[in-house]
Structure 1
């Protein structure tokens, strides 16, 4: 009986966890990256102003923060980049990749050319 109850509770938690995440509308069908996995940063930028995201596809950015840019969206989403923001040595905000408007940052260091075109997937725009 206890094992059945555990199984039912586990299944319920799994369903609840799956229902919590959702695919968000795509901002673009393609992106430009340094490599096919978009695993190397293209450039480092500094935030010119604060950015407060409207949904979980985006990351919050504070003026002055450094942003590591991993992808630049192409086509209708070309106003957005994907990157990672960190406070001083992983301080208050854990590192995670998300989108932000390219207009809120300025490039400070070019690292690797964004010469690889990659199709976006549902995981590029998935919210937890």
Structure 2
């Protein structure tokens, strides 16, 4: 009985502190994509260094990993891109799209021009 009481108390205290399931501040109002749905990758980039994200809007990147870039946030000097990290072995890492600083990667293969300007939505910066 005491266990369930303390567990409930712990959940009530820690859940509001979690970033999961809540809206995070917008990084930009617009983004550049290859299409209106941002579903086609713009380019493939390689990580120059490890990147450890500060919050759930961002994805962790290890040096040497390939990243498929789907969007470039517009404004603030194009500091952030959105993409998916690809590991050296298919299936080794669960696919997840998130943001990362453009300064930690180098473009390796352009795929499509990022000519479509799209408004960001609350789902672009929602933490799951």
Give yes or no for TM over 0.5: yes
Matching residue of 1:58: 58
**What TM-score comes out, normalization by structure 2 length?**
0.82
Question: Which stretches of structure 1, 4 residues or longer, exceed 4 Å deviation after superposition?
Answer: none
Matching residue of 2:91: 90
* 1:1-128 equivalent positions in 2, closer than 5 A: 20-76=20-76, 78-87=78-87, 88-91=89-92, 93-128=93-128
Offset of 1:77 from its aligned partner? Answer: 6.5
**What TM-score comes out, normalization by structure 1 length?**
0.82
Structure with greater helix percent: 1
- Name the count of aligned residue pairs: 110
Residue 71 of structure 2 contacts residue 83 of structure 2 at CA under 8 Å; is this kept in 1?
yes
User: Which runs of no fewer than 5 residues in structure 2 stay unpaired?
Assistant: 1-14
Matching residue of 1:13: none
User: Which runs of no fewer than 5 residues in structure 1 stay unpaired?
Assistant: 1-15
What is the aligned-residue RMSD (CA, Å)? 1.5
